[in-house]
Structure 1
């Protein structure tokens, strides 16, 4: 998603940068944690089939309505010492974690993409990834309409970024098609051996990568899938050692990979092509050594 555009934009601020960030970062963070509070509602209620707006916020243990003063994101949980004001039951620390995470990632998007429509779209994308990742972690399932909302972001993104329609179409298929084939082949093999209807890669993961590829383009989604697979392998081994179970949600790691891919994926792809592939396919255009390309990752 052209993260370097944001860095280039910051250079134009000059000496005013520090004062601007001093004002912008707290505002963006507070906005992010407020949105994060709503994300908690989505993460908890959506898998249960509950309305997101009809019923007011309530304690999940005693059902007591949460006071307005106790709805302040992050800070209310700290002031209440993580306990319900009515029954005294502990409130999961995940509530402030989701709120703070959303706020911090909004700030990161501001720093990476600058003040732009692209940054606004990335904040929506970030919140969707948080919901998708946590819901998948809890239920081992994904809410398809939420995945399709990522694809909808590709429409405005087409007009505010330089990615061509072809880059987005390649992104749509380059990961999702292999994922679909792996899922079908592995599912058929497992069914033949055990009789169970289990896919090696679930259809939700395939749809996620298709929609994200359409939004981000192939240069971001390809590094994203490798990052996601790497994280899934590492944490999958840890989970198996701790719990003894080899079943775990793949989606959260793909979501992390997609976020990192959106920030740094294009630079990684360009670096890999110039360092590894250009010497093979276009040696006459080779102008850089591998070492000279490293600064591209941190520009």
Structure 2
């Protein structure tokens, strides 16, 4: 998962937890004693964030000796990462690293479950994740969903043309949307124009306006099945997306509705994985 994490982001995670010193380690005299630390899965998970944990540990002056890459399956009791170094280094990196693993592995595992469910019922349907995550967590959330088998729906405003009802409200009517898109046809030659709709009538108007794809927002799966079955024979090159309230418990219905992709934010709120941490003296076996 080649998501780029700037060095200042890694530093900020460490600085957030221990901006000056680890006072407990200082008081207890835990400084340069040889130590080792192991992160252990307490459940069956998809690993995510291990490369970033490696950087946290290295920045704290530890050395990673073994790890499972992001996207790897692990079972309860399995070691995800092992490192060595002076006590102060490992203790400083400990909680930051554990937090990264628990957040990222939780999302990756939930993502994998959703993707597996969808693919089982519709092998051609994709699971796409939105940009509706907690502020500051975009890169780690993105990496975790990639590790679980999903793809990003939209990484930011600069990436895609996605016309929401809020845009339509400012433009006035569908004719103005059509005129704006026609005026930019050359500039949009390599872009896909997606228009979000909520009704069948809006879908027909969006197609007339020049949509390449329709994003149906909060349309019940049974209704969406009916609409897609009507529209696809008439517009075979059009793509259909289901969005709004899609979760593991209703994914099967949406996967069977005939859409090309399911767009979801729910994966960002997956329960965290339970990752144990064992710290021992350096000569421990």
| TM-score normalised per structure 2 | 0.31
Flag the structure with higher strand content. Answer: 2
Structure possessing the higher relative contact order (Cα contacts under 8 Å, 6 or more residues apart) = 2
TM-score, normalising length: structure 1 = 0.30
Name the structure where helix makes up a greater proportion of residues.
1
